[in-house]
Amino acid sequence: MGTVTLGVSLAVPEPHGSLLQQYRFGVGDTAASGIPTHVTLVPPTVVEVAARSAVEEYLAGIAASGRPFPMRLSGTDTFRPLSPVVFVRVVRGGTACGRLQERIRDPRGPLARELGFPYHPHVTVAHGIAEEAMDRAQRDLAGYEAEWTVPGFALYEQGATDGVWRLRREFRFPSGTLPHQRMALRRLIA
Give residue-wise pLDDT tens across range 10-20.
999 999 999 99
Residue 176 pLDDT level (bands cut at 50, 70, 90): low
pLDDT at 182 > cutoff 60: no
pLDDT at 160 > cutoff 60: yes
Would you call 54 exposed, middle or buried from its count of C-beta atoms within 10 A (0-12, 13-18, 19+)?
middle
Domains held by the chain: number: 1
C-beta of residue 23 within 8 angstroms of C-beta of residue 35: no
List Cα–Cα distances, 185 to 100, 151, 175, 180, in angstroms. 26, 20, 17, 9
Residue 189 pLDDT level (bands cut at 50, 70, 90): very low
pLDDT at residue 175, as a whole number: 82
pLDDT at residue 118, as a whole number: 92
pLDDT at residue 190, as a whole number: 40
d(CA 99, CA 177): 19
- Render pLDDT for 119-136 as a digit per residue (tens, 0 to 9): 999 999 999 999 999 999
Residue 185 pLDDT level (bands cut at 50, 70, 90): very low
List Cα–Cα distances, 68 to 42, 89, 121, 151, 180, in angstroms. 18, 20, 17, 5, 11
Question: Residue 98: which domain range?
Answer: 3-189
Percentage of residues in the chain with pLDDT exceeding 70? 92
pLDDT at residue 181, as a whole number: 44
Mean pLDDT of all residues in 26-52: 95
pLDDT at 186 > cutoff 70: no
pLDDT at 106 > cutoff 80: yes
Question: Domain with 72 in it: what CATH number?
Answer: 3.90.1140.10
pLDDT at 187 > cutoff 60: no
Mean pLDDT of all residues in 21-39: 95
Sign of CA dihedral 32, 80, 131, 87: positive
Mean pLDDT of all residues in 104-109: 96
Mean pLDDT of all residues in 80-104: 97
Question: Side-chain half-sphere of 145: how many Cα atoms within 13 Å?
Answer: 1
C-beta of residue 84 within 8 angstroms of C-beta of residue 29: no
pLDDT at residue 1, as a whole number: 74
